[in-house]
Structure 1
Protein backbone atom coordinates (compact mmCIF):
# COMPACT_ATOMS: atom_id res chain seq x y z
CA UNK A 1 0.00 0.00 0.00
CA UNK A 2 1.41 3.41 -0.89
CA UNK A 3 1.58 6.02 1.82
CA UNK A 4 -1.63 7.93 2.46
CA UNK A 5 -1.92 11.37 4.04
CA UNK A 6 -4.28 11.42 7.04
CA UNK A 7 -6.22 14.57 7.79
CA UNK A 8 -8.56 15.27 10.73
CA UNK A 9 -10.51 18.45 9.91
CA UNK A 10 -11.08 19.35 13.56
CA UNK A 11 -7.32 19.61 14.18
CA UNK A 12 -5.28 22.64 13.06
CA UNK A 13 -4.27 22.42 9.41
CA UNK A 14 -0.50 21.93 9.22
CA UNK A 15 1.75 24.15 7.17
CA UNK A 16 2.56 22.80 3.72
CA UNK A 17 5.86 21.30 4.89
CA UNK A 18 4.27 18.32 6.68
CA UNK A 19 1.10 16.23 7.11
CA UNK A 20 -0.89 15.53 10.28
CA UNK A 21 -0.09 11.85 9.78
CA UNK A 22 1.05 9.33 7.21
CA UNK A 23 -0.60 5.91 6.97
CA UNK A 24 1.64 3.20 5.48
CA UNK A 25 -0.97 0.46 5.80
CA UNK A 26 0.55 -1.22 8.83
CA UNK A 27 1.89 1.84 10.67
CA UNK A 28 0.58 5.36 11.15
CA UNK A 29 3.10 8.10 11.90
CA UNK A 30 1.50 11.15 13.55
CA UNK A 31 3.36 14.43 13.41
CA UNK A 32 3.99 16.22 16.67
CA UNK A 33 0.87 17.85 18.06
CA UNK A 34 0.71 21.05 20.07
CA UNK A 35 -2.19 22.43 22.07
CA UNK A 36 -2.70 24.88 19.25
CA UNK A 37 -6.02 26.67 18.78
CA UNK A 38 -6.05 27.53 15.08
CA UNK A 39 -9.19 29.67 15.39
CA UNK A 40 -7.40 32.10 17.69
CA UNK A 41 -3.85 31.46 16.41
CA UNK A 42 -2.62 30.75 19.91
CA UNK A 43 -1.60 27.95 22.24
CA UNK A 44 -4.60 26.71 24.22
CA UNK A 45 -3.34 27.38 27.78
CA UNK A 46 -0.30 28.25 29.89
CA UNK A 47 -0.76 25.07 31.96
CA UNK A 48 1.24 22.06 30.78
CA UNK A 49 -1.53 19.80 32.11
CA UNK A 50 -4.21 21.59 30.06
CA UNK A 51 -1.95 21.67 27.00
CA UNK A 52 -1.36 17.93 27.34
CA UNK A 53 -5.08 17.20 27.60
CA UNK A 54 -5.87 19.39 24.57
CA UNK A 55 -3.17 17.92 22.34
CA UNK A 56 -4.03 14.34 23.34
CA UNK A 57 -7.54 15.02 22.06
CA UNK A 58 -5.95 16.23 18.81
CA UNK A 59 -3.93 13.01 18.60
CA UNK A 60 -7.10 10.98 19.16
CA UNK A 61 -8.79 12.85 16.30
CA UNK A 62 -5.90 12.23 13.90
CA UNK A 63 -5.77 8.55 14.84
CA UNK A 64 -9.54 8.26 14.42
CA UNK A 65 -9.21 9.77 10.93
CA UNK A 66 -6.83 6.88 10.16
CA UNK A 67 -9.27 4.35 11.64
CA UNK A 68 -7.22 3.82 14.79
CA UNK A 69 -7.43 4.56 18.52
CA UNK A 70 -4.99 5.46 21.28
CA UNK A 71 -4.75 1.78 22.24
CA UNK A 72 -3.04 1.23 18.86
CA UNK A 73 -0.16 3.57 19.75
CA UNK A 74 3.13 1.71 20.15
CA UNK A 75 5.58 4.61 20.59
CA UNK A 76 5.39 8.23 21.72
CA UNK A 77 7.99 10.95 21.79
CA UNK A 78 7.36 13.84 24.16
CA UNK A 79 9.10 17.21 24.06
CA UNK A 80 8.92 19.42 27.17
CA UNK A 81 10.31 22.93 27.42
CA UNK A 82 10.63 22.58 31.20
CA UNK A 83 11.42 19.21 32.74
CA UNK A 84 10.00 20.56 36.01
CA UNK A 85 6.59 20.10 34.28
CA UNK A 86 7.18 16.34 33.94
CA UNK A 87 4.97 15.33 36.87
CA UNK A 88 2.04 17.52 35.77
CA UNK A 89 2.42 16.30 32.20
CA UNK A 90 2.67 12.66 33.23
CA UNK A 91 -0.49 12.77 35.38
CA UNK A 92 -2.58 13.78 32.35
CA UNK A 93 -0.72 11.59 29.86
CA UNK A 94 -1.20 8.51 32.06
CA UNK A 95 -4.98 8.98 31.94
CA UNK A 96 -4.91 8.45 28.17
CA UNK A 97 -2.70 5.34 28.39
CA UNK A 98 -3.96 3.68 31.57
CA UNK A 99 -3.35 0.09 30.39
CA UNK A 100 -0.51 -1.28 28.28
CA UNK A 101 1.10 2.13 27.67
CA UNK A 102 3.31 2.55 24.61
CA UNK A 103 7.08 2.81 24.62
CA UNK A 104 8.07 6.42 25.25
CA UNK A 105 10.87 8.93 25.17
CA UNK A 106 10.69 12.29 26.93
CA UNK A 107 13.09 14.98 25.79
CA UNK A 108 13.76 18.40 27.29
CA UNK A 109 14.01 21.15 24.66
CA UNK A 110 14.70 24.88 24.72
CA UNK A 111 11.59 25.93 22.81
CA UNK A 112 8.63 24.68 20.78
CA UNK A 113 6.61 26.28 18.00
CA UNK A 114 4.03 28.90 19.03
CA UNK A 115 5.51 29.00 22.55
CA UNK A 116 3.97 25.65 23.50
CA UNK A 117 5.22 23.83 26.59
CA UNK A 118 4.68 20.28 25.31
CA UNK A 119 4.57 18.46 21.97
CA UNK A 120 3.81 14.79 21.38
CA UNK A 121 4.30 12.64 18.30
CA UNK A 122 3.07 9.06 18.05
CA UNK A 123 3.46 5.91 16.01
CA UNK A 124 0.50 3.53 15.88
CA UNK A 125 0.14 0.05 14.45
CA UNK A 126 -2.86 -1.24 12.56
CA UNK A 127 -4.22 -4.31 14.37
Structure 2
Protein backbone atom coordinates (compact mmCIF):
# COMPACT_ATOMS: atom_id res chain seq x y z
CA UNK A 1 0.00 0.00 0.00
CA UNK A 2 1.23 3.50 -0.85
CA UNK A 3 2.06 6.02 1.82
CA UNK A 4 -0.50 8.71 2.53
CA UNK A 5 0.68 12.32 2.66
CA UNK A 6 -1.80 14.83 4.10
CA UNK A 7 -1.02 18.44 3.16
CA UNK A 8 -2.29 21.09 5.58
CA UNK A 9 -3.06 24.74 4.95
CA UNK A 10 -2.67 25.42 8.67
CA UNK A 11 -6.36 26.15 9.20
CA UNK A 12 -7.82 25.22 12.58
CA UNK A 13 -10.85 23.92 10.71
CA UNK A 14 -8.88 21.03 9.23
CA UNK A 15 -8.69 19.21 12.57
CA UNK A 16 -12.17 20.31 13.69
CA UNK A 17 -13.89 19.09 10.52
CA UNK A 18 -11.44 16.32 9.70
CA UNK A 19 -10.03 17.23 6.29
CA UNK A 20 -6.76 18.13 4.58
CA UNK A 21 -6.02 20.86 2.02
CA UNK A 22 -4.71 18.04 -0.19
CA UNK A 23 -3.96 14.34 0.03
CA UNK A 24 -1.42 12.37 -1.95
CA UNK A 25 -1.45 8.58 -2.11
CA UNK A 26 0.95 7.12 -4.61
CA UNK A 27 0.72 9.10 -7.83
CA UNK A 28 -2.73 10.54 -7.08
CA UNK A 29 -3.27 13.98 -5.51
CA UNK A 30 -6.66 15.43 -4.59
CA UNK A 31 -7.01 19.05 -3.53
CA UNK A 32 -10.02 19.95 -1.39
CA UNK A 33 -12.48 22.64 -2.33
CA UNK A 34 -10.49 25.87 -2.25
CA UNK A 35 -11.75 29.44 -2.01
CA UNK A 36 -10.23 32.91 -1.80
CA UNK A 37 -11.24 33.29 1.85
CA UNK A 38 -9.19 35.87 3.73
CA UNK A 39 -9.08 37.30 7.25
CA UNK A 40 -10.85 40.48 6.09
CA UNK A 41 -13.11 38.93 3.47
CA UNK A 42 -12.37 37.27 0.14
CA UNK A 43 -9.05 37.97 -1.55
CA UNK A 44 -10.13 39.80 -4.69
CA UNK A 45 -13.22 41.34 -3.12
CA UNK A 46 -16.32 40.92 -5.28
CA UNK A 47 -14.31 40.16 -8.43
CA UNK A 48 -15.06 36.60 -9.51
CA UNK A 49 -11.96 36.57 -11.72
CA UNK A 50 -9.70 37.61 -8.83
CA UNK A 51 -11.30 35.14 -6.41
CA UNK A 52 -10.76 32.43 -9.04
CA UNK A 53 -7.10 33.41 -9.49
CA UNK A 54 -6.54 33.31 -5.72
CA UNK A 55 -8.21 29.91 -5.32
CA UNK A 56 -6.09 28.57 -8.19
CA UNK A 57 -2.94 30.08 -6.66
CA UNK A 58 -3.71 28.18 -3.45
CA UNK A 59 -4.40 24.98 -5.39
CA UNK A 60 -1.10 25.26 -7.26
CA UNK A 61 0.69 25.79 -3.92
CA UNK A 62 -0.97 22.70 -2.41
CA UNK A 63 -0.06 20.68 -5.50
CA UNK A 64 3.54 21.81 -5.10
CA UNK A 65 3.60 20.69 -1.45
CA UNK A 66 2.34 17.30 -2.63
CA UNK A 67 5.06 17.05 -5.27
CA UNK A 68 2.75 17.81 -8.18
CA UNK A 69 2.45 20.65 -10.66
CA UNK A 70 -0.40 22.13 -12.71
CA UNK A 71 0.55 19.93 -15.68
CA UNK A 72 -0.35 16.88 -13.56
CA UNK A 73 -3.96 18.04 -13.05
CA UNK A 74 -6.48 15.81 -14.80
CA UNK A 75 -9.74 17.25 -13.41
CA UNK A 76 -11.07 20.44 -11.86
CA UNK A 77 -14.50 21.31 -10.53
CA UNK A 78 -15.67 24.90 -10.15
CA UNK A 79 -18.64 25.73 -7.96
CA UNK A 80 -20.06 29.18 -8.73
CA UNK A 81 -22.75 31.06 -6.85
CA UNK A 82 -23.83 32.87 -10.05
CA UNK A 83 -23.64 30.88 -13.27
CA UNK A 84 -24.31 34.01 -15.35
CA UNK A 85 -20.71 35.00 -14.52
CA UNK A 86 -19.15 31.66 -15.55
CA UNK A 87 -17.01 33.26 -18.25
CA UNK A 88 -15.07 35.36 -15.71
CA UNK A 89 -14.12 32.21 -13.79
CA UNK A 90 -13.53 30.22 -16.96
CA UNK A 91 -11.08 32.74 -18.40
CA UNK A 92 -9.13 32.90 -15.11
CA UNK A 93 -9.07 29.07 -15.06
CA UNK A 94 -7.70 29.17 -18.60
CA UNK A 95 -4.79 31.36 -17.46
CA UNK A 96 -3.52 28.38 -15.47
CA UNK A 97 -4.92 25.42 -17.39
CA UNK A 98 -5.33 26.70 -20.96
CA UNK A 99 -2.58 24.49 -22.39
CA UNK A 100 -3.09 21.63 -19.92
CA UNK A 101 -6.84 21.32 -20.53
CA UNK A 102 -7.97 19.03 -17.69
CA UNK A 103 -11.48 17.64 -17.63
CA UNK A 104 -13.50 20.43 -16.00
CA UNK A 105 -16.96 20.84 -14.56
CA UNK A 106 -18.67 24.13 -13.73
CA UNK A 107 -21.67 23.96 -11.41
CA UNK A 108 -23.90 26.57 -9.82
CA UNK A 109 -24.54 26.26 -6.10
CA UNK A 110 -26.95 28.28 -3.98
CA UNK A 111 -24.20 29.51 -1.64
CA UNK A 112 -20.80 28.75 -0.19
CA UNK A 113 -19.67 28.77 3.46
CA UNK A 114 -19.36 32.59 3.36
CA UNK A 115 -21.87 34.65 1.37
CA UNK A 116 -19.04 36.84 -0.01
CA UNK A 117 -17.28 33.87 -1.59
CA UNK A 118 -18.22 33.49 -5.25
CA UNK A 119 -16.32 30.34 -6.21
CA UNK A 120 -14.85 27.15 -4.78
CA UNK A 121 -12.54 24.93 -6.84
CA UNK A 122 -11.35 21.30 -6.46
CA UNK A 123 -8.54 19.62 -8.38
CA UNK A 124 -7.30 16.08 -8.95
CA UNK A 125 -3.87 15.24 -10.31
CA UNK A 126 -1.82 12.20 -11.23
CA UNK A 127 1.92 12.65 -10.87
CA UNK A 128 3.90 11.03 -13.66
CA UNK A 129 6.64 8.76 -12.35
TM-score of the aligned structures, taking structure 2 as reference length: 0.88
> Contact 1:68 / 1:126 at 8 angstroms: preserved in 2?
yes
Q: How far 1:100 sits from its partner (Å)?
A: 2.9
- List gaps (5 residues or longer) in structure 1: none
User: 1:14 and 1:53, CA in 2 relative to 1: closer, same or farther beyond 3 A?
Assistant: farther
The 1:14–1:29 alpha-carbon spacing in structure 2 relative to 1, beyond 3 Å, is farther
Tell me, yes or no, if the aligned pair for 2:5 and 2:66 is still in contact at 8 Å: no
Alignment of 1:110-121 (within 5 A): 110-115=110-115, 116-121=117-122
TM-score normalized with structure 1 length:
0.90
Residue pair 2:9, 2:20 contacting (<8 A) in 1 also: no
Instruction: Indicate the residue corresponding to 1:105 in structure 2.
Output: 105
Q: Is residue 92 from structure 1 mapped to residue 64 from structure 2 by the alignment?
A: no
Two-structure CA RMSD over aligned residues (Å): 1.3
> 1:124 aligned to 2:122?
no
Q: Name the structure 2 match of 1:43.
A: 42
- 1:25 is displaced (CA, Å) by 1.2
Runs of 4+ in 1 over 3 A off after TM superposition: none
Query: Aligned residue for 2:80?
Result: 80
Task: Indicate if the aligned counterparts of 1:43 and 1:114 stay in contact, CA closer than 8 A.
Answer: no
Gaps of 5+ in 2: none
Pairing 1:8-47 to 2, within 5 Å after superposition: 8=9, 13=11, 15=13, 16=15, 17=17, 18-37=19-38, 40-44=39-43, 45-47=45-47
